[in-house]
Amino acid sequence: MSTTNFKKNNFLELRQKAEEKIQRIIKKVKTEIVPKHELEHELSVREIEMEMQYDELTLTKNALKESLKNYSTFFDYAPIGYFILDKNGVIRNVNQTACSQLGIDKMQLIAKALSTFLRTEQCQDDFYRHRNLVLETEISQQVECEIKRKDGSFFIALIESSYVKENENFNFFLSTVSDISTRKKQERKVEMALIKEKELNAMKSQFITIASHEFRTPLTTILSSANLIEKYGNPKDEEKRNKHFHKIKTSVSRLKEILMDFLSVSEVEKGNITNNPETFNLVKFIEDIIEETKSFNGTHNVKYIHIGSHQNVFLDMKLLKICLTNLIINAYKYSPKGGLIEITTEQNTPENLVIIIKDNGIGIPDADALHIFETFFRARNAENIQGTGLGLNITEKFVGIMGGSISFISKENKGTMFILKFLHYNNVL
């Protein structure tokens, strides 16, 4: 029963009792001879009673006013938004907190459907099902929705609704709205941290697996060649000794390459890699790398040409060397013996450089192309070839640090061409 109905019924009841008492007094006067002084006394008592009742009603009225004021303050300035909705979700009343959450005046919210302030159709559908669930279960329910503000921004809200009955019939929904945007951001950070931790654990496992496999082969070769060299003490065996010395050098170079890959990934993850450009002659730089990687070259033919009138570049020599060494060694590894490796550099202006490394090897399957730069990824047709799955990942990151880009064109069993572009790279410091 509402406060207004209660007051009205209470007044009518008091009036009825007063009229009944007056009728009894009138009847008594008519049927009995009542002395004047008794009547005066009775009237005085009744007057005092009425004054006392009036005082009591005044106190009750003031108490009700204070209670209503306190309720209104509590309602308006509660730490969460209050929405009183009808059965169709139309707003009948809101508190000041709700108005502040949406940035909209109270009068602009009244008689509007709350769903019109929900950001997406999905949210609107979720809220519709939420209201129906409250009606069906008669239990308070929760739903998360995105609510639009007047300025176009939005926040993630937790809406909790229950419904209030009057005379066992539905009266209104009471929906509270809490801004949980900060909490959701923190939850997302925790989720990302957990994902990162899982990725790191997976990388550690992959590192152990790959390292144990990749180290085993060159170490076995070194040990085997060292044992054989000991047996070749005769001067006539010099050619055999040199052959095994070459194998040892190749294996050591392979170990160095593996260690450099792992160390490079670690430094990138820590954010310790920076771009430190310097001026150097590109042609001589490429020729030196080709010479240094000969130990990885079986019987491949390497063809290098430079196009353009400029040869000096301003790049990080250390990072570029790692990138080109990775790509050239890959060209050797994934190409048949005797295959042609083509290296082309083009520099028509001082600030624009293109480097192309092309082979006619096994190529990259279309299904693997999207993942080729991922950490530890190995294409399915390269699983039986030595490799850590780190070289291309490192190369892509280092090229990016230098302000360049890397792309490739490949066809399985036809070969691969990697293209490095450094455009206006002098501006990247």
Instruction: Give, for all 429 residues of the chain, the pLDDT tens digit.
Output: 444 454 455 556 666 776 676 677 666 656 655 566 666 677 777 777 777 777 777 777 777 776 666 666 677 778 899 999 998 999 999 999 999 999 999 999 999 999 999 999 999 999 999 999 999 998 999 999 999 999 999 999 999 999 888 887 888 999 999 999 999 999 999 999 888 888 777 766 666 666 655 666 667 777 777 777 777 777 777 787 778 787 787 777 767 766 776 667 667 777 778 899 999 999 999 999 998 887 676 688 899 999 999 999 999 998 999 899 989 989 998 988 888 999 999 999 988 999 999 999 999 999 999 999 987 788 888 877 777 778 898 899 999 999 999 999 999 999 999 999 998 765 544
Please state, in angstroms and as integers, the Cα–Cα distance from residue 177 to each residue in 90, 97, 98, 143, 422, following that order: 15, 9, 7, 10, 53
Q: Which two tokens stand for residue 354?
A: 């293109």
Domains 81-179 and 278-427 share a fold: no
Residue 209: its pLDDT value, please? 61
Question: Does the domain made of 278-427 have the CATH classification 1.10.10.10?
Answer: no
DSSP summary character for residue 105: -
Please state, in angstroms and as integers, the Cα–Cα distance from residue 137 to each residue in 133, 140, 158, 165, 231, following that order: 6, 8, 19, 14, 88
Q: Would you say 53 and 68 are in contact if contact means Cβ atoms under 8 Å apart?
A: no
**What residues are paired with 416 via a beta bridge?**
410
SS3 state at 377: coil
CA–CA distance, 394 with 414 (Å, rounded to integer): 25
Domain boundaries, the chain: 3-76, 81-179, 186-269, 278-427
CATH class of residue range 186-269: mainly alpha
Residue 406: its pLDDT value, please? 96
List Cβ<8 Å contacts ≥24 apart for 108-116: 113/88, 113/89, 114/83, 114/85, 114/89, 114/90, 114/175, 115/89
User: Of 351, 355, 356, 349, which Cα lies nearest the Cα of 309?
Assistant: 349
Q: Would you say 375 and 382 are in contact if contact means Cβ atoms under 8 Å apart?
A: no
List Cβ<8 Å contacts ≥24 apart for 366-372: 366/412, 369/408, 369/410, 372/408
To which CATH superfamily is domain 81-179 assigned? PAS domain (3.30.450.20)
Please state, in angstroms and as integers, the Cα–Cα distance from residue 369 to each residue in 363, 407, 411, following that order: 10, 11, 10
Residue 228: its pLDDT value, please? 76
135 Cβ contact list (under 8 Å, min separation 6): 87, 163, 170
Please state, in angstroms and as integers, the Cα–Cα distance from residue 134 to each residue in 59, 90, 172, 176, 374, following that order: 40, 16, 11, 13, 48
> pTM for this structure?
0.50
CA–CA distance, 212 with 214 (Å, rounded to integer): 6
Helices (H), 77-149: 96-102, 106-109, 121-137
Q: Would you say 142 and 159 are in contact if contact means Cβ atoms under 8 Å apart?
A: yes
Residue 346: its pLDDT value, please? 96
Q: Cα angle vertex 369, ends 389, 330, to 5°?
A: 45
Please state, in angstroms and as integers, the Cα–Cα distance from residue 162 to each residue in 28, 87, 91, 97, 157, following that order: 57, 11, 14, 19, 16
Q: Cα angle vertex 146, ends 144, 151, to 5°?
A: 155
CA–CA distance, 267 with 82 (Å, rounded to integer): 52
Alpha carbon of residue 13 to chain centroid: 65
CA–CA distance, 358 with 419 (Å, rounded to integer): 9
Q: Which two tokens stand for residue 337?
A: 């013996």
CA–CA distance, 77 with 129 (Å, rounded to integer): 29
Q: Would you say 119 and 147 are in contact if contact means Cβ atoms under 8 Å apart?
A: yes
